[in-house]
Chain A
Amino acid sequence: MQCVVTGGNVKVLAKAIHSLSRIGDELYVEPQEDGVSCFDAVRNTSTSSYHHVYIFAYFLFASTNGADLNASLSCTIKVDSQSVFRSLATLEKTVEKCHIELNEQKDRLTFTLHCKHGLLKTHNLSYQDSESLQAVFNKDTCTNEFRAQPRVLVDTVAHFPPSLEEVTVTVSDERMWVRNHVEDETGNTTRSKAMLTELCLASDEFDHFVVKTPNSVTFCLKEFRGLLVFAESSNLPVSMYFDEPGSPVVLSVTDGVLEGNFVLATLSDDPITSLFFLFPFWTFWSTLRAHAPPSPPPDDFMNDDMDSYLIAMDTSVASGPSTAGPSASTLTDPCTSKLPEANHRTRTHSEEEEEEMEDGSERPPNKKFRSLFFGSVFPPSPKMSTQPVTTQEVLASDSEDES
């Protein structure tokens, strides 16, 4: 496989790889007939996501005599591919083109950066062969769809602390509420000390706002931020698709030459673990919390009356929130006690899977991967992942019987 990326496209490629390498360690690269796929999927115990970058061929070799893409090849590279495209600012000024070559005999993926003044930087990355993987998701069947300028979303997430893990998005016909998600781990004391932030966006702030099933989903904010950085720097509108808690939320970014999709896991309503993710061999037992049925929070403030609380406090020995307060917040969680068990189950399960995997031959031992989806905007080829794929090459033996 060989291809060349020239000019400003090098910066776009670098930004894409940066967003891919945000959390994970490995990058899967798979050349296809009309471009190159880069994937990365992350799975940790509480959230999971799957991102795929599809760098369309057009983007890759604009002015040279074509790329030679050996479509049957796919490999995994241990990313520190970020080190190849280290500083985005200097990249723009110094790199004229980037030549990517896969050398099968030597097991090397070579990035050669042709810079100004005749300087040539060559990075040799080693890789491992792997099976191709694709996530199954379908944006077209999602019932809720939104599209907004990145600035709106960036301003929204700016209200949340950088350390916040998860965020809950609730939608109704006209509004979207974005709230920080507080895990109720040890009971009242932890919950009551956490600061809650909520932002309400009106539908007219979005370019496109369609809600067919009003509900709430909770997903990882960090990954969302990663995508927003990319979208904002390229000034591309961000689209969001989701159905219901438990099914993934898909965030996508489209340009003339590339399309990126982030598929993020959401917390499930079902106290019994639900198969969130679409790899049949990969059963996710995502964090378990039952949500109270989503009710959009009222616009006015809740009960301001402190008197009943004070009376309760003065007369009782223990101080604690009075039960007279409203409980419209969705933090009430009847199934909290299941949480520690669930996490345990997640880990045990993944360990089992990893053992199974190692029995097979030449499988990448490290199961954590993240992928950024950038699909092609051209008519979908059979390999495109925007359609449900009924047969897939799987990475490990089918463990569906365990679900």
Chain B
Amino acid sequence: MKFRGKIVDVACLNHFTRVVTTISKLTKTCVLRLNPDNLFFVLSGKVANGGVSMWCELSQANFFDEYQMEGVSPENNEICLELAPENLSRALKTVQNAKSVKVKLTKKHCPCLTVCAELPTLSSSSRVVTHDVPVDVIPKRLWHEFKEPSVPDFDVSIYLPPLKTIKNVVDRMKNLSNFLVIEANMNGEMNLKIETDLVSVTTYFKDLGNPPWGDGASQDGGPTQSRDPDSMAEARVDVRKLQQFLVGQQVNPSKSMCNIVHQSVLHLILLHEDVSLQYFIPAVA
């Protein structure tokens, strides 16, 4: 099992660092899957995470100038590692001005993802920084837990308002209640509601637009097509989980949308040019 990647371009390094930093804000540990074309940061929805799951896909060609890997076996040409993204983020943040950054899978006192960077200096020789991020190799028999999630059979799909706006609203609402209801309809309307014994607060968003999933994407084509465009689908979620998702976002996505399965799950999708992030928050009763 081998992995070697090299980033030379400053903008790519910066972008990669920001992605890893976003992931580090979402979860303390996650699984990194590597295959010849992509990198995936995966968090599988377990009770320990509160049922939250995440899938982040990066196309390696957009970040790495050199990328070589050899998976577990020729038939399963993949590598699956568990790591703390915060360590990786910290390592990358300190080498932002490097001439080149190599990321390698190595074995020191334990398996590590080593970030090795050459830093520019005033003198002739360059300074070399090495960060060893300890990782755990996930054996093949557990790989099924970290598969790409399928898009759920949603009731409503809608574009999100600017993340900053939602974040401001959610931050204020968090002080009032632990649970927040997101509801939306196929007419581009979305409401964020909280309700307590003393007070109920609702924020209304209009004219958001609904992404055209098309016949193939929306399962069976049936539910959303025949749905009354004004009828709202809702999901009641833990406000802290939603806030955690919003707080980590450092890059403005080119597209952001959410799918709601009525009273079941909230599926948030953020798309950038070369990165896509999906986040599932289960609904509570």
Give residues in A with beta carbon < 8 Å to B.
152, 155, 158-159, 161, 191-202, 204-205, 299, 301-307, 309-310, 313-314, 319-322, 325-327, 329, 331
Task: Indicate if B224 sits at the interface (CB-CB under 8 A).
Answer: no
> Closest CB-CB distance, B31 to chain A, in whole Å?
15
B116 within 8 A of A: yes
Determine chain B's interface SS by DSSP, over half rule.
strand
Cβ-closest chain B residue relative to A189: B110
Q: Are B109 and A321 in contact (CB under 8 A)?
A: yes
Task: List residues of chain A with CB within 8 A of the CB of B136.
Answer: 319
Which residues in B have some Cβ–Cβ distance to A below 8 Å? 1-2, 4, 72, 87, 90-91, 94-95, 104-112, 114, 116, 119, 121-125, 127-134, 136-137, 139
New A-B contacts (10) at CB < 8 Å, excluding given A198-B130, A301-B104, A301-B106: A152-B121, A199-B129, A205-B122, A303-B107, A305-B2, A306-B111, A320-B110, A325-B109, A329-B108, A329-B109
Min Cβ gap B28→A in Å is 12
Q: Given the complex, which residues of A lie within 8 Å of B106, measured CB to CB? A: 301-304
- Measured between beta carbons, the chain B residues less than 8 angstroms from A313 are 137, 139
Inside 8 A of A307's CB, which chain B residues have their CB? Answer: 1
Contact between chains at B124 and A204 (CB < 8 Å) = yes
Cβ-defined contact, B87 with A204, below 8 A: no
Q: Do residues A192 and B110 form an inter-chain contact, with CB atoms below 8 A? A: yes
Given known pairs A192-B110, A205-B122, A327-B109, the reply for A304 and B131 (CB within 8 Å) is no
Least CB distance from A347 to B in Å reads 30
**Chain A positions within 8 Å of B137 at CB level:** 306, 309-310, 313
Closest residue on chain B to residue A325 by CB atoms: B107
Give B121's nearest chain A residue, CB to CB.
Answer: A205
Whole-angstrom CA separation of A195 from B110 in the bound complex: 11
With both chains docked as a complex, state the minimum distance between the C-beta of A241 and any C-beta of chain B, in angstroms.
Answer: 22
* B134 A322 Cβ-Cβ under 8 A: no
Among A195, A200, A314, which residue has its beta carbon within 8 angstroms of that of B131? A195
Known: A192-B134, A204-B124, A301-B114. A197 touches B107 (CB 8 A): no
Q: How far is the CB of B21 from chain A (nearest CB, A)?
A: 15
19 cross-chain CB contacts under 8 A = A191-B109, A192-B110, A192-B134, A193-B134, A195-B91, A195-B132, A196-B112, A196-B131, A196-B132, A198-B130, A204-B125, A205-B121, A301-B106, A306-B1, A306-B107, A309-B107, A313-B139, A314-B139, A321-B111
Contacts of B1 in A (CB 8 A): 306-307, 310
Cα distance A314–B119 in the bound complex, in angstroms: 38
- CA gap between A159 and B96 in the complex, in Å: 11
A159 touches B2 (CB 8 A): no
Given A301-B116, A313-B137, A306 contacting B127 (CB threshold 8 A): no
B127 and A201 form a contact (CB under 8 A): yes
Residues of A with C-beta under 8 A to B116: 301
Report the minimum CB–CB distance from B59 to chain A (whole Å): 24
Instruction: State whether A199 and B105 are in contact (beta carbons under 8 Å apart), knowing that A192-B110, A204-B123, A309-B137 are contacts in the complex.
Output: no
Chain B positions within 8 Å of A204 at CB level:
123-125
Contact A205 B131 (CB under 8 A): no
- B110 in contact with A159 (CB, 8 Å): no
CB distance from B268 to the nearest CB of A (A): 30
Is B108 a contact of A197 with CB atoms below 8 Å? no
**Pick the contact of A195 from B90, B105, B111 — CB < 8 Å?**
B90
Most chain B beta-carbon neighbours within 10 Å: one of A196, A309, A320, A326: A196
Beta-carbon contact of A199 and B107 below 8 Å: no
How far apart are the CA atoms of A321 and B112 in the complex, in Å?
11
A319 to B109, CA, bound (A): 13
Please judge, given known A-B contacts A192-B110, A205-B123, whether A304 and B128 are in contact too, CB under 8 Å.
no
> Which chain B residues lie closer than 8 Å to A201 at the CB level?
127
